[in-house]
């Protein structure tokens, strides 16, 4: 019995030892956990600190609002544009004008005609800011872009016009109260001027009529220069229109008339006539009515088109429907032209005895490439000093240009001119300097400083009011001589 009890006690003791050993078994696994916790911090920080920061930075780049991102990009573009302007202003301006032109093209393709025309207008204003010397390699690029913009304007206008019901190729000579009022002025205070213009017309009229016939236009249009310029080749209007056909500077460029420091072909009766025929033909195609086309010739097709667009109907029976809504001078322009044609067709009816027209000009044309004063050439040829100027009114400085040029000389003087032209002294016009207006300065003070005249500065800079100049304004000053 005792033996059995002792045996049981021994078994229980062994079992307790076994159970204690099992319960203490997991303790060795605590040692690696303790060593991990005691590892130096730098070994554990890289995966826990730097990587999350980089991820957050990358994430921050992608959550910028689109509007803010666009504003930043525009700001950067403006800064780049400013830097370009400082570095190379003419080139940068031409590039900017081309970009605006491309915006206009996109607007037109979207069907937004108003936005396209506004962009083209802005592009043209930028081009006018580009001031280049005559020998600049950018000059051709500037002229090409100018013509491209002008052609696009015509194309857009033609695509969206509401044409007036046309009268074919004839000009309706309506004798109403407005026409009779202009005829009375021609008979009264303007009689001498009118008759002198009719007399001068003989110099060019026959040639102009022939060119009109070739183009399929009414021959009566040859009398348009009577009311435009009194048939004076060097006429200049208050609005800065120039020549016998009174082209504005931009319109002259548009139809290929060269304008540089030597030549202004707006004053060339023959080249300006060709340009005027193209313009009139386009205007007639645009409006379909000659009287309306003539009104547009005076004030611009956009002005007339805007008047048409404001009508309550989308068509016009004839010019007189919009007559009263046009600018005053334009409203008078068409009646004056009709009155002129009526008087010339039947002078006795209106109390006129018109003088005998001058005979057509006769001359020879030679090609030269030597800049010299016309006065010097006239002396060498034994001509009066005014003859060559009269035959070549487009020469701004009464000098042949420093590039190839077709010079008109009296009949029989062509060969002699070619023989002596290269031996004559070369003429080099003085380059104009630039003056920046300071506070308190007047044009008379500036003119005295540079030993020139107020009139010369006004003419060179196209200043409308000689008493109004602003601080910081850049004025070109004529060179001495």
Token pair of 3 as six digits:
């033996």
Which one of 182, 211, 220, 228 is the catalytic residue?
228
Helix (H) or strand (E) holding 368: strand 364-368
In whole angstroms, give the CA distance from residue 409 to residue 121.
41
Q: Is 425 exposed, middle or buried (0-12, 13-18, 19+ CB in 10 A)?
A: exposed
At residue 227's C-alpha, the angle toward residues 225 and 232, to 5°, is: 50
Segment 212-220 long-range contacts (CB within 8 Å, at least 24 positions apart): 212/277, 215/277, 215/281, 216/169, 217/169, 217/277, 217/280, 217/281, 217/284, 218/169, 218/170, 218/171, 218/290, 220/171, 220/341
Q: Is 415 exposed, middle or buried (0-12, 13-18, 19+ CB in 10 A)?
A: exposed
Instruction: Name every residue whose Cβ is closer than 8 Å to that of residue 237 and which is 6 or more positions away in sequence.
Output: 246
Tokens 């130096």 identify what position? 40
Find the helix or strand (DSSP H, E) in which 92 lies: helix 89-109
73 catalytic residue (yes or no): no
Closest CA to 231 of 187, 194, 264: 194
272 pairs with which residues across the strands? none
3-state secondary structure 446-472: HHHHCCCCHHHHHHHHCCCCCCCCCCC
Residue 214 burial (10 A CB sphere; 0-12, 13-18, 19+) = exposed
Burial track 101-126 (b if 16+ CB lie within 10 A, e otherwise): bebbeebbeeeeeeebbebbebbbeb
- Compute how many other C-beta atoms are within 10 angstroms of the C-beta atom of residue 371: 19
User: Ramachandran region of residue 401, left (φ > 0), alpha (ψ -120 to 50) or beta?
Assistant: beta
Alpha helices in 288-366 (DSSP H): 290-299, 301-309, 328-345
DSSP SS3 for 373: strand
Q: Please give the Cα distance from 235 to 242 (Å, whole number).
A: 6
Residues marked as catalytic: 228
């Amino acid at each position: 019995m005792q033996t059995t009890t002792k045996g049981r006690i021994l078994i229980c003791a062994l079992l307790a030892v076994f159970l204690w050993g099992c319960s203490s078994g997991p303790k060795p696994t605590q040692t690696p956990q303790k060593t991990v916790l005691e590892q130096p911090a730098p070994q554990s920080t890289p995966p826990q600190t730097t990587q999350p920061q980089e991820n957050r930075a990358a994430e921050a780049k992608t959550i910028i609002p689109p509007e803010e991102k666009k504003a930043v990009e525009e700001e950067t573009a403006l800064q780049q544009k400013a830097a370009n302007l400082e570095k190379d202003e003419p080139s940068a301006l031409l590039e900017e004008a081309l970009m605006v032109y491309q915006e206009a093209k996109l607007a037109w393709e979207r069907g937004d005609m108003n936005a396209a025309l506004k962009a083209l207008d802005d592009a043209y204003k930028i081009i006018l800011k580009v001031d280049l010397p005559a020998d600049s390699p950018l000059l051709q690029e500037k002229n090409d872009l100018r013509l491209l913009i002008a052609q696009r304007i015509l194309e857009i206008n033609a695509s969206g016009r509401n044409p007036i019901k046309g009268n074919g190729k004839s000009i309706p000579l309506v004798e109403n109260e407005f026409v009779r009022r202009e005829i009375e002025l021609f008979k009264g205070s303007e009689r001498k001027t009118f008759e002198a213009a009719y007399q001068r017309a003989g110099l060019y009229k026959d040639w102009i009529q022939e060119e009109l016939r070739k183009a399929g236009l009414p021959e009566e249009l040859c009398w348009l220069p009577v009311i435009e310029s009194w048939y004076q080749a060097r006429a200049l209007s208050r609005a800065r229109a120039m020549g016998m056909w009174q082209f504005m500077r931009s319109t002259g460029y548009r139809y290929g008339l060269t304008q540089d420091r030597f030549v202004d072909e707006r004053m060339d009766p023959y080249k300006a006539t060709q340009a005027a025929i193209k313009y009139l033909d386009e205007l007639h195609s645009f409006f379909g009515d000659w009287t309306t086309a003539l009104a547009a010739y005076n004030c611009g097709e956009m002005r007339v088109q805007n008047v048409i667009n404001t009508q309550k109907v989308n068509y016009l029976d004839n010019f007189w429907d919009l007559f009263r809504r046009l600018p005053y001078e334009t409203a008078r322009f068409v009646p004056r032209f009709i009155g002129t044609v009526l008087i010339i067709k039947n002078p006795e009816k209106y109390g006129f005895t018109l003088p005998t027209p001058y005979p057509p000009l006769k001359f020879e044309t030679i090609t030269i490439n030597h800049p010299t004063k016309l006065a010097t050439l006239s002396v060498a040829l034994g001509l009066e000093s005014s003859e060559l100027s009269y035959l070549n009114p487009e020469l701004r400085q009464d000098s042949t240009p420093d590039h190839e040029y077709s010079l008109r000389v009296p009949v029989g003087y062509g060969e002699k001119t070619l023989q002596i032209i290269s031996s004559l002294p070369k003429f080099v016009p003085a380059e104009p300097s630039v003056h920046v207006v300071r506070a308190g300065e007047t044009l008379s003070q500036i003119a005295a400083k540079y030993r020139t005249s107020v009139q010369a500065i006004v003419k060179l800079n196209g200043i409308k009011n000689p008493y109004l100049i602003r601080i910081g304004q850049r004025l070109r000053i004529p060179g001495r001589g």
